[in-house]
Amino acid sequence: ANRIAHHLRSAGAGPGTLVGLCVDRGPDLMPTLLGILKAGAAYLSLDPANPIGRLAQILRDTKASVVVTTAGHAVAVAEIHDRELVVLDDPARRAAIDAAPATGPVGGDD
């Protein structure tokens, strides 16, 4: 979760930002959710089962700065979100996350 938090900070997430989370239930969900919170951002749960029009409306209304997703949903999300997209299972992205520090990125002043 700390490594994800550092990576999200470098992608523009942090205090005062909203990060969309569009992943299926599974092993990536909780560490990513915690990573968003540890980055100091708020998370916006985006159910991949919702129609793409509904997801587009939610993203448009909330102006989420970053959306975290997986390869299975990346193409659809990229069509409706023109800001930063973090694809967790992209090999280059995974390498960057794995290379991030294991310590928490924010402190008491954040």
Q: What is the pLDDT of residue 109?
A: 62
Q: Are 35 and 5 in contact (CB under 8 A)?
A: yes
Domains contained in the chain, number: 1
pLDDT digits (tens, 9 = 90+) for 12-68: 999 999 999 999 999 989 999 999 999 999 999 999 999 999 999 999 999 999 999
60/32 Cα distance (integer angstroms): 22
Report the 10 Å Cβ neighbour count for 63: 9
Q: What is the pLDDT of residue 105?
A: 77
> Does residue 109 lie within any of the structural domains?
no
> Poorest-confidence range of 64-68, 75-79, 84-88, 96-100?
96-100
> Does residue 108 lie within any of the structural domains?
no
Q: What is the pLDDT of residue 42?
A: 96
- pLDDT tier for residue 110 given thresholds of 50, 70 and 90: low
Q: At 22, which CATH number?
A: 3.40.50.980
Determine if residue 23 is left, alpha or beta; phi over 0 gives left, psi from -120 to 50 gives alpha, anything else beta: beta
80/55 Cα distance (integer angstroms): 8
Q: Is 53 exposed, middle or buried (0-12, 13-18, 19+ CB in 10 A)?
A: exposed
Q: Are 66 and 19 in contact (CB under 8 A)?
A: yes
CA atoms within 13 A on the CB side of 25: 1
Task: Give the domain range for residue 62.
Answer: 2-99
Q: What predicted TM-score, i.e. pTM, was given to this entire model?
A: 0.87
Q: What is the pLDDT of residue 28?
A: 87
